[in-house]
Amino acid sequence: MDFDQLAQFLADLGEPHFRARQVWEWMYKRYVSDFDAMSNLPKALRTKLADIATVAPLTLVTEVVSRDRDTFKALFQLPDGQTIEAVLMLYDERRTLCISSQAGCAMGCTFCATAQGGLARNLTPGEIVAQVLYFARYLADPALPPDTAAERPTTVTNIVLMGMGEPLHNYANVWKALRRLTDVDAFGLGARHITLSTVGLAPMIDRMADEGLQIGLAVSLHAPNDDLRTQLVPVNKGYPVDEVLAAVRRYVAKTNRRVTFEYALMAGINDAPELAHALAEKLHGILCHVNLIPLNPIPNSPFQPTSDEETEHFAQILRKAGIPTTVRLRRGIEINAGCGQLRRAASIAASQ
Ligand code: SAH
């Protein structure tokens, strides 16, 4: 529910107007996980609310922590039994949370584990927001995790919509969630601290540019030409490279924000030096940055990651051509928490 829906819901129960603000603050400022903790609500109301509603729609199924204790992956069950994953990464000053926008994904990228199970359903705005509240609660809890307490950050500082699903394929719900996460009266994170990654649904990129929120945009490109990109990212048939890049140019013109292009390097597939030159040419003149992702291993896949040397060579070609390029730090690979490794129910078995 957004605030107005909550206000109506409580009004229908015969509650005074100020109750909605009270419940809202317990949820979004204090991150409580049940009505019973809302101590300024009458006991009878707390009991009634617990019977008919919830403020924490995600049930933790498994949680896995990386060896370095800097990456946490949670598998959640939704009220209808579907499952999703979210990943928290601790950096020096950032606590970046990677969240899912759909249970599964319909885009079919051939190198991505999420694609293998297909799409089950869209997440609701509440289920998207609840992933953030879960980890905000986790980071704020003085009791957890005990051995890192001294340096433990106490809030989520960055959010990336790079988990399961294609966020622009669940546009309305994702944007309701983004409004809630950036609203100063709700979670209140600055839009500049949030990045949405898309496979490149061009018309939706245009729609995003008109929202008036400074959300960062990342586009999963992975190839500079249509033949190759269609093999890796099948939706390229509908939105070819030039169309996606044209939408990105319009996005930059409207928002003045630097766009990120993601490029997962696969040995012998899309990592040839000629392709780096072709990519540099395609991106010429766009306010952008390329993020190279060494391919993460996924089950039943013929693709292998590019070697470190060849990755660096690819990066150098782009940099020499004037395209700022970084190689993404791989995190949580051994717990299958890396890019493209998130899955639905199957991951219960995989992560145990
Ligand atoms: N659907 C959105 C959000 C997913 S973000 C999108 O396509 O952008 C996940 C990122 O990881 C995307 O850039 C995706 O292409 C990339 N990815 C998928 N599988 C991967 C793998 N096995 N190794 C590395 N990156 C991968």
Q: d(Cα 340, Cα 242) in Å, to the nearest integer?
A: 24
Identify whether 57 is part of a domain: no
**Whole domain around residue 28: which residue ranges?**
3-52
Which segments of the chain does DSSP mark as H helices, in order? 3-12, 18-28, 43-52, 113-116, 125-140, 171-182, 202-209, 226-232, 241-255, 273-283, 308-320, 346-350
Give the CATH number, domain containing residue 37: 1.10.150.530
List 85, 127, 166, 262, catalytic entry? 85
Provide block-wise average pLDDT over 10 residues at a time, the chain (352 residues): 97 97 97 96 98 96 90 95 95 90 97 94 98 94 58 84 98 98 97 97 97 95 98 98 98 95 97 98 98 91 94 98 92 83 61 38
Same domain, 40 and 146: no
Whether 140 and 281 map to the same domain: the answer is: yes
SS3 230: helix
- Residues 297 and 311: their CA atoms lie apart, in Å, by 16
Tell me, yes or no, whether 149 and 82 share the same domain. Answer: yes
Cβ contact 23:3 at 8 Å: no
The span from the CA of 112 to the CA of 115, in Å, is 6
> Nearest 5 degrees, angle CA 221-CA 271-CA 256?
30
Backbone phi and psi for residue 179, each to the nearest 5 degrees, phi listed first: -65, -40
Residue 70: predicted pLDDT: 86
Q: Is 166 a catalytic residue?
A: no
Distance CA(172)–CA(199), nearest Å, equals: 17
Q: Under a CB-based contact definition with an 8 Å cutoff, are residues 167 and 208 in contact?
A: no
Calculate how far, in angstroms, residue 204's C-alpha sits from the geometric centre of ligand 1: 18
CA distance 130 to 248: 30
Residues 122 and 256 in one domain: yes
Q: Tell me if 132 is assigned to some domain.
A: yes
Decide: 295 in ligand 1 pocket, CB within 6 A: yes
User: Is the domain of 97 the same as that of 215?
Assistant: yes
pTM of the entire structure?
0.94
* Cα gap 71→330, rounded to integer Å: 11
Residue 345: its pLDDT value, please?
Answer: 62
22: burial class by Cβ within 10 Å (0-12, 13-18, 19+)? Answer: middle
The response to whether residue 204 sits with its C-beta less than 6 Å from ligand 1 reads: no
pLDDT computed for residue 263 by the predictor = 98
Co-location of 38 and 9 in the same domain:
yes
For the stretch 139-143, contacts whose Cβ atoms lie closer than 8 Å and that sit 24 or more positions apart, written own/partner, are 139/88, 139/95, 140/31
Q: Do residues 178 and 226 both lie within one domain? A: yes
**120 in any annotated domain:** yes
Residue 135 lies in a domain: yes
- Give the chain's domain count: 2
Is residue 153 reached through a cis peptide bond, with omega within 30 degrees of 0 on the bond before it? no
| pLDDT for the residue numbered 351 | 39
Alpha helices in 301-345 (DSSP H): 308-320
**Known catalytic residue at 281:** no
Q: What is the pLDDT of residue 152?
A: 60
**Judgement on whether residues 91 and 148 belong to the same structural domain of the protein:** yes
CA distance 97 to 73: 10
CB of 111 within 6 A of ligand 1: the answer is yes
The answer, yes or no, to whether any atom of ligand 1 lies below 6 A from the CB of 199, is: yes
Burial of 234 (0-12, 13-18, 19+ CB in 10 A): middle
What is the model's pLDDT at position 30? 94
In this structure, the residue with its CA closest to atom 5 of ligand 1 is: 162
User: Does 71 share its domain with 13?
Assistant: no
3-state secondary structure of 260: strand
Answer yes or no: do 48 and 175 share one domain.
no
Note whether residue 305 is domain-resident: yes
Residue 291 lies in a domain: yes
CB atoms within 10 A of CB 20: 20
Distance set, CA 9 to CA 18, 53, 172 (Å): 13, 10, 21
Q: Do 95 and 17 belong together in one domain?
A: no
Q: Catalytic one among 98, 109, 288, 339?
A: 339
Distance from chain centroid for Cα 195: 8
Dist. CA 78 → ligand 1 center (Å): 23
Which residue's C-alpha comes closest to atom 1 of ligand 1?
166
Which of 220, 300, 303, 330 most suits a substitution to test ligand 1, by most atoms within 8 Å of the C-beta?
Answer: 220
Residue type, 68: D
Domain match, 34 and 125 both: no
CATH assignment at residue 115 = 3.20.20.70
